[in-house]
Structure formats: C-alpha cells, structure tokens
C-alpha cells in the first residue's frame, strides 16, 4: 500500500504525540523508539516486517530486565515500537548504537533514544559516528539530501540484506 506524504507527516506527528504521552506516563524513564528505514512510498512490506521483528528482538534481548513497558504499532506508514527502560539515556543510546552497528540488519533499524525530558540523544553524544549510507561511504544524510542513489538501488540492497538474514 502506497503512502502519501500527508499520511507520512501525520504519522510522524502522531508518533511524536505518543512519545510525549509515554514519557509522561513513565516519569524518569528513558524512551527507546524503533522504526524501520524503508525508502519510497511503500513502508509496510515483507522486508520491513522482517526487519522490525529482528530489531525488536535485538532490543528486548539487549535491554532485558531494564524494559519497564513496551508498545508496538504495525501501521501502513511503518512499524513502530516503543520501550520504556530504567537505563540512563546515554547508556540506552550506547546499547542501541551497538545494535544498529553490529546487527546484520542494523543499518535498517532507526532507533531513537529520548531522556526523561524528551530530549533526543544523538549518536555523537555517546562517541558514535554518523550513520553511513546503505550503498556507499558517505554519511546517510548527505546521500539522502543529494538523492545520490535511486530508490530501486536502495530497495535491491535492502532485499538482499533481508533475504541473506533469513536464510
């Protein structure tokens, strides 16, 4: 199912509102928010579902008993998972960066960490490097801004990553 830009923007607004709500419901907690990197107008497909489940499993395995609450939403605009943890925000960000950097599908995981006040923690705040492009050595943001790669190239690489992972 193709998603319009308006639907995607509305989904982001709803995600932000839910993040604020979860932080209010769990004062002092750290919020971990998972989405899947999926270029193009189709955000929910076999590849995004496999990737989302792999990411959620990795998060639950690594955060373990520190997870106080979870919530997941499987939407046409993409899978979303929210975890409240008792870990300090910087420690949670270190764990999530390690997952993104070491998991076979980690480059397809978009894991954000927010402190109790709702402030996002950057990769750089924990000594991490900016995310790299799926296809080249440039920073991912640079390639996205410059439209360095076609959607077909990106999707072919994503399909190969996921198919290799499930074999």
Is the distance from CB of 66 to CB of 85 less than 8 angstroms?
yes
Q: How far apart are CA 39 and CA 44, in angstroms?
A: 11
Burial label for 134, CB within 10 Å (0-12, 13-18, 19+), is: middle
pLDDT band at 21 (very low <50, low <70, confident <90, very high): very high
Range name among 10-14, 134-138, 148-152 with the lowest pLDDT average: 134-138
pLDDT at 149 (0 to 100): 94
Whether 26 shows a pLDDT value over 90: the answer reads yes
pLDDT band at 40 (very low <50, low <70, confident <90, very high): confident
CATH assignment of 5-129, among 3.30.70, 2.60.40, 3.80.10, 3.40.50: 3.30.70
* pLDDT tens, position by position, 93-131: 999 999 999 999 999 999 999 998 999 999 999 998 888
Is the distance from CB of 31 to CB of 114 less than 8 angstroms?
yes
Domain ranges in the chain? 5-129
pTM: 0.92
To which residue do tokens 């492009």 refer?
A: 133
* pLDDT tens, position by position, 44-92: 999 999 999 999 999 999 999 999 999 999 999 999 999 999 999 999 9
Q: How far apart are CA 106 and CA 52, in angstroms?
A: 10
pLDDT at 159 (0 to 100): 95
């Amino acid at each position: 199912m193709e998603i319009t830009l308006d639907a995607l923007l509305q989904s982001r607004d709803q995600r932000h509102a839910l993040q604020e709500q979860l932080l209010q419901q769990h004062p002092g907690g750290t919020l971990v928010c998972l989405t899947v990197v999926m270029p193009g107008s189709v955000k929910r497909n076999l590849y995004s579902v496999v990737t989302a489940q792999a990411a959620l499993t990795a998060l639950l395995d690594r955060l373990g008993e520190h997870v106080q609450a979870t919530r997941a939403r499987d939407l046409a605009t993409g899978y979303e998972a929210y975890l409240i943890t008792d870990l300090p925000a910087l420690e949670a960000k270190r764990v999530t960066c390690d997952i993104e950097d070491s998991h076979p599908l980690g480059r397809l995981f978009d894991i954000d960490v927010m402190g109790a006040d709702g402030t996002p923690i950057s990769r750089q705040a924990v000594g991490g490097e900016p995310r790299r492009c799926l296809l080249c050595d440039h920073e991912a943001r640079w390639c996205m801004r410059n439209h360095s790669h076609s959607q077909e190239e990106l999707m072919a690489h994503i399909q190969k990553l996921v198919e290799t992972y499930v074999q």
